[in-house]
């Protein structure tokens, strides 16, 4: 974004949203308004901006209608519970923010003539049978399993975004975000990065679910935010994967955390949650060719920075 832009970030006090806010302000945005219900986000994530005149925060649940004064150039919809534990607990909130919340967000973009960017997810691909996952893959999603409240809300949101583009002329972008990690993740959100780091720092055993052979591909948050901004500035209307193709088993990821934390706590095995995808790796050909984007931060570097943050939190 340039100095001339006024931006609204929905979910702006969340993990990814708050990093996006920081980068927008660092890039010289005229004004950034973060809106967040704070059900999984936290005001602590934007507390360092309290004296920033170009920033404001509004506590609001976007499943309720809302308006924003003045000109808006970009609307980023990052609002949703996103960890498996959170969306299982906050199932109705998750379904409502993907449906009603996204509709309200799109209506705002329409009214303001703003570019709208939707944070979608690799969960669109479910437990994928195509590997790595290209944007053209329709996915292997269980519509009634425990992950469905999140997966189907996000799939509905993608459909709604494309319909607002086709029927109402809204300029839309869709980013499919793969596993991302970094500072400001919630320690107890159940996801593997804060779980392992928290366990390592507390001197507890690392809990690997299943046999640990399932794979994920972890992207550092600054790389993700860079991809999101490149997409927002582009003209690309179809979904674009943004993630790190560096695929690892969860077991080798646990070993990476041990290595970076210099703590070799034992690994203990726990039951695999129902519906846990067996493999996940983005094909980032579209991001590379359309956006000139690829991740830059190596896992050990990103983990060291994340560990530093969690040392102050645990």
Q: Which of 87, 125, 137, 150 is catalytic?
A: 150
Query: Scanning the structure block, which residue is given the tokens 């972890």?
Result: 218
Is the CB of 84 or the CB of 227 nearer to ligand UDP? 84
Residue 208 to residue 16: CA distance in whole angstroms:
25
Which residues are 7's β-sheet partners? 32, 74
Q: How far is the CB of 285 from ligand UDP (least distance, A)?
A: 22
In this structure, the number of other CB atoms found within 10 A of the CB of residue 214 comes to 18
Binding mask 141-180 for ligand UDP (x = CB under 6 A): --------------------------------------x-
Q: Specify the stretch interacting with ligand UDP by CB under 6 A; choose among 131-139, 237-245, 271-279, 297-305.
A: 271-279
Whether residue 309 lies in the annotated active site: no
Q: Which two tokens stand for residue 269?
A: 């095995």
Residue 229 to residue 224: CA distance in whole angstroms:
9
**Terminal CA-CA length for the chain:** 35
To 10 degrees, the CA torsion angle through 172, 189, 226, 68? 50
Under rule CB under 6 A, residue 214 binds ligand UDP: yes
Under rule CB under 6 A, residue 208 binds ligand UDP: yes
Binding mask 177-206 for ligand UDP (x = CB under 6 A): --x----------xxx--x-----------
Q: How far is the CB of 252 from ligand UDP (least distance, A)?
A: 12
| φ, ψ (nearest 5 deg) of residue 259 | -65, -50
CA dihedral sign, ordered 128, 242, 184, 204: positive
- Among 66, 156, 209, 309, indicate the residue that binds ligand UDP (CB under 6 A): 209
Q: How far is the CB of 98 from ligand UDP (least distance, A)?
A: 15
Residue 101 to residue 125: CA distance in whole angstroms:
22
Under rule CB under 6 A, residue 35 binds ligand UDP: no
Is the CB of 100 or the CB of 314 nearer to ligand UDP? 314
Q: How far is the CB of 189 from ligand UDP (least distance, A)?
A: 8
Q: Name which of residues 79 to 108 contact ligand UDP (CB under 6 A).
A: 83-84
- Among 276, 290, 294, 313, indicate the residue that binds ligand UDP (CB under 6 A): 276
Residue 113 to residue 70: CA distance in whole angstroms:
12
Under rule CB under 6 A, residue 216 binds ligand UDP: yes
Q: Which two tokens stand for residue 289?
A: 């060719």
In this structure, the number of other CB atoms found within 10 A of the CB of residue 307 comes to 20
Positions touching ligand UDP (CB under 6 A) are: 83-84, 179, 190-192, 195, 207-209, 214, 216, 250, 272-273, 276
Active site residues: 150
């Amino acid at each position: 974004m340039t100095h001339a832009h006024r931006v609204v970030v929905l979910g702006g006090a969340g993990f990814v949203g708050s990093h996006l806010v920081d980068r927008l302000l660092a890039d010289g945005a005229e004004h950034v308004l973060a809106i967040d219900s704070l059900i999984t986000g936290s005001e602590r994530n934007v507390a360092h901006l309290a004296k920033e005149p170009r920033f404001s925060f509004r506590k609001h649940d976007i499943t309720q209608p809302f308006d924003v004064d003045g000109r808006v150039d970009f609307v980023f919809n990052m609002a949703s519970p996103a960890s498996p534990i959170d969306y299982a607990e906050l199932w109705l909130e998750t379904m409502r923010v993907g449906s009603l919340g996204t509709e309200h967000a799109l209506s705002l973009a329409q009214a303001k003539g703003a570019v709208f960017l939707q944070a979608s997810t690799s969960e669109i691909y479910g437990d994928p049978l195509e590997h790595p996952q290209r944007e053209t893959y329709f996915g292997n999603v269980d519509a009634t399993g425990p992950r469905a409240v999140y997966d189907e809300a996000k799939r509905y949101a993608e459909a709604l975004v494309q319909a607002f583009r086709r029927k109402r002329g809204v300029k839309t972008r869709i980013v499919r975000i793969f596993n991302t990690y970094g500072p400001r993740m919630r320690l107890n959100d159940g996801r593997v990065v804060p779980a392992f780091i928290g366990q390592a720092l507390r001197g507890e055993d690392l809990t690997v679910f299943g046999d640990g052979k399932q794979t994920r591909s972890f992207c550092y948050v600054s790389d993700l935010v860079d991809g999101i901004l490149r997409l927002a500035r582009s003209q690309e209307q179809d979904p674009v994967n943004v993630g790190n193709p560096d695929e690892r088993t969860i077991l080798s990821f646990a070993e990476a955390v041990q290595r970076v934390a210099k703590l070799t706590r034992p690994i203990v095995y726990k039951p695999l949650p129902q519906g846990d995808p067996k493999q996940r790796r983005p094909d980032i050909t579209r991001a590379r060719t359309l956006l000139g984007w690829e991740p830059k931060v190596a896992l050990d570097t990103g983990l060291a920075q994340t560990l530093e943050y969690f040392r102050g939190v645990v």
